[in-house]
Amino acid sequence: NANSSVLRQAMGVAQHHDAVSGTAKQHVTNDYAKQLSSGWDACQTVVSNALASIMGTKENFIYCPYLNISVCLLTEAAETFMVIVYNPLARPVDWNMRLPVNGSHYSVVDPNGQAVLNEVIPVSSFTQAVRRDRGYAANELVFRASAPPLGYRTYSVSRRPGKKPALARELKRLLYRPG
Amino acid sequence: AAPLSWTIQNEHLRVVFDPSTGLLKTIENLDKNISLPVSQNFFWYNASTGNQENNQASGAYIFRPNGSEPFHVSQRARLYHVKNQVVQEVYQNFSAWCSQVVRLYAGEPYVELEWTVGPIPIQDGLGKEVISRFETNLQTDGLFYTDSNGREILERRRDYRATWNLSQTEPVAGNYYPVNSRIYIKDKKVQLTVLTDRSQGGSSILDGSLELMVHRRLLHDDARGVGEPLLEPGDYHHGLVVRGRHLILLDTAESSADQHRLRAQQEFMAPQVVFAPGGGPPYQPG
């Protein structure tokens, strides 16, 4: 049931200078945002179908549009999950992943079975203030992913049992008030 | 606590902070042996409500501050930092509504500034247009560069128009230009480039400086047709919070384009990240 026309039409509407420059009345601005959001919701099915096709297997693909404020219900709760990185450029790229998590130790494995260096750092108070009650991740899992030209790579992430309460050994976190 | 070394560093860059202010102080390109004093801070212009010369208020269509000097959000930032192998971060808290994380990822030739601005307070009755300003000692002679329309990069000259004699009446707004993906300043040797993650307004109001408007919240309509002040309420009607990123590149003037063109392309067509529960299927290289 994939349909990219919803987003195509929303993008068409959003070519108006009111949408480009932000010169619309508030309720119109709200509608621009709503149309774009609905378009992206519809396109997720398109992307899922495409990924299922090139991967040769159907998965329950999940999208996390609030990663910029460390919100993703799957990565926050799941013990194991898969990260698929699709690169739309015609050259290989590296990309630094930041995923909201609640564990303190993780194993990240690349498609060749090699362990990927990763770190878990606390979600900042800045982010906690912004996201309000939308997510409860205490930490962020950081690792570098790489993806081939016009292709994808999958990374498997597993939570490891951690005995230490909170990151004490890995982090060098210093508090300082200037002046 | 005595100030320790407020420095983050990777293979390519070293970023030094002033321990007395918490502000960015120096960026060094270790590959090219370039060191540039760079101070970066957040300011706000007080939005004009009109004056005797012109009753034009700042609004959705019009950027018109009521003075040329912006106000500091704060002259100091409270800091803490996190140093790891993959990423090093310095957290700067400027005020209850303005903060920033300065990041260096291992192996990456850029400095990432992730800023969070808002809700902009308006209890004082003043509309505010918030900027991030970088100040350097580069001898720029009134020139800066923007990539309007996302196509060729255009040279901008302060208080100047190429096709008519300009009598500048708006020293700030009259020098603002669209920035779709990048803005830079340079002298004969060194170039400081800032890549944006969205279209913003930008300028170089003073030689050696560069600024980008990151957020605005206004109390008056500019009478250009929209009929409403630019006063988005956001969650709980407190005003919008905006989070974005600026990527900073420091390189020679000759080789900067090699850096910023590829990096901007990667930002614009960023990898699509999708998740799936469980361990997942085997990877198919084809």
Does residue A173 surpass a pLDDT of 50? no
Would you state the pLDDT for residue B280? 61
Would you state the pLDDT for residue A176? 41
Mean pLDDT of B246-266: 96
In B, residues 207-226, which contact A (CB 8 Å cutoff)? 224-226
- How far does the CA of residue B142 sit from the closest CA of chain A (Å)? 27
Does residue B92 surpass a pLDDT of 90? yes
Q: Do A126 and B116 touch (CB under 8 A)?
A: yes
ipTM of the complex: 0.90
Q: What percent of chain B has pLDDT over 90?
A: 86
* DSSP label of A47: H
Mean pLDDT of A149-171: 72
Does residue B284 surpass a pLDDT of 60? no
Would you state the pLDDT for residue B281? 54
Mean pLDDT of B211-235: 92
Minimum CA–CA partner of B224 in chain A: A23
pLDDT band per the 50, 70, 90 thresholds, residue B148 = confident
Q: Do B87 and A119 touch (CB under 8 A)?
A: yes
Would you state the pLDDT for residue A134? 80
pLDDT band per the 50, 70, 90 thresholds, residue B176 = very high
Does residue B114 surpass a pLDDT of 90? yes
Would you state the pLDDT for residue B95? 96
Q: What percent of chain A has pLDDT over 90?
A: 73
Would you state the pLDDT for residue A70? 95
Could you report the per-residue pLDDT of A114-151, keeping only the tens digit for each? 999 999 999 998 888 888 778 889 999 999 999 999 99
pLDDT band per the 50, 70, 90 thresholds, residue B45 = very high
